[in-house]
A and B are shown apart, each in its own frame.
Chain A
Amino acid sequence: MRFIVCVKEVPESIDVKIDLKTNKLQEEGISTTLNPFDQFILEEALKLKKDEDEIIAISVGTPQTKMVLMKCLALGADKAILLSDNVFMGSDSFATAYTLSKVINKIGDFNIIFCGQQTVDGNTAQVGPELAAQLKIPQVTYVESVDKFEGQKLVVKSQTDEGFKIVESQIPVLLAGIPPSSFTPSLPPLRNIIAAQNKPCIIWNFEDLGGPKDKYGSAGSLIQIIKVYYPPPRKKGIVIVEEPTTAVEKLIELLNKDKVI
């Protein structure tokens, strides 16, 4: 079996700043990490992996994104492919999905594609389904666990708006994962970090994928961000420090005055 896990490098803290000169997000100098949703689904893939199976982690990013792929290798992936080229810059979820689909087609056969449900930065939750559509394979999103995998069938538990459902799916399939609250990301031990340095981490650029240039990056994107800005600041709140009874009276008074209730 071949499992492909799509991952993204994201800022460690989502408390990012806007560069007022360029009206863009400040990306330089901030520390980054593997998107936690991606780490979760990678760990699900690792649970399914048998010795003869292969896990390939792929990511579209900058040369720095290699660190995130190295982490995937340290966690147990067998091989990593980094897509790095200026042509890929400025992709929306559609163009990202297109790039990933080209990579996957170039890799060749696969059985399951794993994605994080969303990223902590963009939070579109769209790349997974858009990629599944382009690969013309079924998808199951909001996957909390992969419970069974036998032959060509897979049983997963996935979150719904009301609770959860158990879904049986054929393979190939794309699974988009969201960690249950009990999930604690694994920390790769030193020896696995060392072993990862000897695993293949390949860098591909636009020429490696081929196809029309205007399908990638901002040229291939269907939506356009025209402005980023801080939300209007919340008004400074009123904090009541009083005996409970007085405090509650005061609160209700304030809520009445401000017509909240």
Chain B
Amino acid sequence: MELKFTEEQEMFRESVREFCQRKITPVALEMEKTREISIEIKKGMAELGLLGCTASPEYGGSGLDAVSAGVIGEELARADPTGSIPVFYLVQAAWGFVLNKYGTEEAKEEVFPKVIAGEYFLGIATTESDAGSDVGGTRTMIKKEGDGYIVNGEKMYISGVREAAEGGGGHLTIAKQNPELGTRGMTMFYLPLTADGITPTYIDDLGREGISCGGFAIDNVRIPKYYIIGEENKGFYIVHEGYEFARGLIAVICAAAGLKSLENGMNYIKERKCFGTAIGKFEEINFRLAEHYTRLNMLRDLAYKSLWTIDREQQGKGSRFETSKAIAMAKMFASDWACNAINDVMQWQGAFGYSKECPDQAAWRAIRSFALAEGSKEMMKMIVARELLGKEFIAYK
């Protein structure tokens, strides 16, 4: 057993970390007000090759594997307490992986170069008002018509709607093609948000202010055949590969945000005095530090291991089920553990911790979202239980 990043991954880390220190950290909290990621940052990310990094080199990507993508996510999460840039990054890395694996040549040639250049946003849109982690509940419909398809429905709570609707790009979307077949009748496709018949709406999220959240009505939107991702009716299975990639990245990002917050807290409790003693000497504080630090490192290790199972699966060395379980285990507590740690760091810092000047409050609000985003923690427990006991133990079947 060797637990070590490759030289290449260490070099990625060095480059990204330096970029973050120069361009992201100094201005990260400004995103709370500007509510967007600046063009300069997007351009810088594109120049480094961080956007759509999982796309193959023939489309201009770097063909990164999941662990390498995690290394980058980790650095971005350490640098941006608002969580906006990590989300902006991870969605495109994870769904870029799906587009790369299952998309048609034409779709890839059309979309990837612009995603990689930072012009297009590539997102994921499965969630609807009444269907979230339970993708089977999707109501949006896709229908063959002539040599293309017609889509009708509505998506909700989607990241990056404004980015794609105004700047260009679109979302990998899932819809029912053969409702009578249930989850076996769902198809995945690329839906440009600039298409005729798309009407976006926006929602104010609790955190992650730099990236938009919203929904869009899909009214008789026509898409060409080459936008279909993978085979028809296989969407439900394909979408989970993307989710798993994203969930693994989220687990790494939660660990990184939590550990970064603990570093802030450590600097504070070493200096801050109460009754003439540094508060870091109080066990109420330093025991909690020790516990959080340990838990978050457990999380970090599990998160990287889960990404490693994805890479192994891609090399044909592991099964879908192994990956699903490893990923679900990594994501299950990711948000909770990181939020608990960050919450304590806020507490240690007293009134400052509750002020908007404190980066940790932004991190808490951002990381809180990951108990839901890309699969709720409850769903993660279900997956692990299912993998342990077998499908026959799923209560709702």
Report which A residues bind B (CB closer than 8 A). 33, 66-67, 70-71, 74, 184-185, 187-191, 193-194, 196-197
Contacts and interface: CB of A to CB of B under 8 A. Distances in A.
A187 B11 CA distance: 10
Contacts of B12: 190, 193
A187 B8 contact: no
A191 B62 CA distance: 5
A70 B14 CA distance: 12
Q: Is the interface of A mostly helix, strand, loop or mixed?
A: helix
Contacts of B303: none
A194 B64 CA distance: 9
Interface string B163-207: 000000000000000000000000000000000000000000000
Top 8 nearest A-B pairs by Cβ distance?
A: A190-B49, A190-B62, A189-B49, A187-B15, A193-B11, A189-B48, A191-B62, A191-B49
Contact of A194 (B8, B10, B14, B47): B8
B7 interface: yes
Contacts of B47: 189
Nearest to B15: A187
Q: Which of B10, B11, B63 has the most CB of A within 10 A?
A: B11
Interface string B2-32: 0000011011101100110010000000000
A67 B19 CA distance: 19
A193 to B, nearest CB: 5
B50 A190 contact: yes
Interface string B36-65: 000000000001111001000100001110
Contacts of A33: 14
Nearest to A185: B18
Contacts of A190: 12, 15, 48-50, 53, 62, 64
Nearest to A74: B11
Interface string B141-165: 0000000000000000000000000
Contact of A188 (B10, B15, B63): B15
A12 to B, nearest CB: 10
Given A185-B18, A193-B15, 20 more contacts: A33-B14, A66-B7, A67-B10, A71-B11, A71-B14, A184-B22, A187-B19, A187-B48, A189-B15, A189-B47, A189-B48, A190-B12, A190-B15, A190-B50, A190-B53, A190-B64, A191-B49, A194-B62, A194-B63, A197-B7
Q: Is the interface of B mostly helix, strand, loop or mixed?
A: helix
24 contacts: A70-B7, A70-B11, A74-B11, A184-B22, A185-B18, A187-B15, A187-B18, A187-B19, A188-B11, A188-B15, A189-B15, A189-B48, A189-B49, A190-B48, A190-B50, A190-B62, A191-B62, A193-B8, A193-B11, A194-B8, A194-B63, A196-B11, A197-B7, A197-B8
Contacts, number: 43
A71 B8 CA distance: 10
Nearest to A196: B11
Contact of B57 (A67, A187, A191, A196): A191
Contacts of A188: 11, 15
Interface in B58-81: 62-64
Q: Which of A184, A189, A190 has the most CB of B within 10 A?
A: A190
Contacts of A197: 7-8
Q: Which of A67, A193, A197 has the most CB of B within 10 A?
A: A193
Contacts of A70: 7, 11
Contacts of B8: 193-194, 197
Contacts of B53: 190
Contacts of B57: 191
B76 to A, nearest CB: 13
A197 B156 CA distance: 43
Contacts of B19: 187
Nearest to A184: B22
B192 to A, nearest CB: 26
B361 to A, nearest CB: 30
A214 B223 CA distance: 75
Contacts of A196: 11
A221 B233 CA distance: 74
B330 to A, nearest CB: 24
Interface string B206-227: 0000000000000000000000
Contacts of A71: 11, 14
Nearest to B23: A187
B7 A67 contact: yes
A66 B11 CA distance: 12
Contacts of A184: 22
A67 B7 CA distance: 7
A197 B12 CA distance: 12
Contacts of A194: 8, 62-63
Nearest to B72: A190
A187 B48 CA distance: 8
A152 to B, nearest CB: 36
Nearest to B50: A190
A194 B12 CA distance: 9
A193 B49 CA distance: 10
A67 B11 CA distance: 8
Contacts of B49: 189-191
